[in-house]
Each structure stands twice: as C-alpha cells, then as structure tokens.
Amino acid sequence: MLTVGDTFPAFALTAVKGGAEGLAGPGKSFEEITSDSNPGKWKIVFFWPKDFTFVCPTEIAAFGKLNGEFADRDAVVYGVSCDSEFVHLNWRVHNADIRDLPFPMLADVKRELATALGVLDKQAGVPLRVTYIVDPEGTIQHVTVNGLNVGRNPQETVRILDALQTDELCPCNWNKGEEALKPQELFDKAA
C-alpha cells in the first residue's frame, strides 16, 4: 500500500458531481476528475467498499457535513468506490443521507486507482475504508485504514489536516489554535 511520503498516483475517473448538479441526470451529472483537477489544493481522498451498503452512507454523509470545513482549509474531498457513476447517481437519488452530497463520487470501475494505491481487500476485492490526505504537490501526508466493518471518524481527518498545515510538531490530541511543541523549550525545561 502507498503511504506517507509516496506520490499519489495519476488517475482520471468519471464522477458524479457534488451538489445539485450531481442530481441532474445521466449526461449532466457526470464529470471527469483527474489527479490534475483542483491544482494547488490539499486533497482528501477516501474509499468505501460498496454503494448501497449500511456503514458506507454514514461515513459519506459525515464527510459531506464537514465539506465546508475542508474547503475553509483549502482542501477538496473526493469519495471513491469501485461502483460505476450510474450506481453512484442512483444511490444519491435514493438515499436521503447522501442526496445533497457536496463533493464528487468517483467511479473506479476498473479498480485502477485502488490497485495503484494497494487498498483492495484481499478476500472481498473491494476497497478498504482508506483515507488519504494529499498535499498540493501530490505527496501523501497521511493515511488511515479501517477494515470493511468499521466506520471512520471524518472529524479526525479535519484535525490531522489542521496539524499538517501548521508544519510544526503537534502533540497527541492537538487541536487547531493550541500550542505546537517547541523542542528547544522542552529541552531547556528538562535541563
């Protein structure tokens, strides 16, 4: 699996647009998202195993509710599964929790991106619940992986993005606005 310090792979995938545009219907609801889309932005790329499941919409909706917080931090959110753009669209239309989703749902139908990242579950052949934070230069700065049966905490992704954007030493449970660690001060106190 690709991890921190690796370059996020190049990709070009069809997506259901975020927001109301994503509900306009086939032909109007789709767009291509590539690794070159949204240059200069941080990217939150998260995978879920399958559409029309039980845990997945809880996570997707939670990321959707935080979309404004990610945007405030100069980050875009991409949700990805191996389902087609038509399945994504149908799911959005028929699931009230994700109907108003503000970010695009990418269709990795050929499993090219999931395979390049090494995030497919070996038994099920679907993506694990993986979240990547990618910096504006395309370098992976953070990765978390959950098994297929356990949802993740998108608020923690916001906290980690905040810490990464400080470019400082952030202690355990650090939150935006708190002091970062100052190694020299800690050394002086110990001396």
Token pair, residue 11, equals 């990709």
Neighbours of 133 (CB within 10 A): 23
- Given a contact cutoff of 8 angstroms between Cβ atoms, the answer to whether 57 and 95 are in contact is yes
Question: Hey, which residues are catalytic here?
Answer: 56
- Given a contact cutoff of 8 angstroms between Cβ atoms, the answer to whether 103 and 18 are in contact is yes
Neighbours of 9 (CB within 10 A): 14
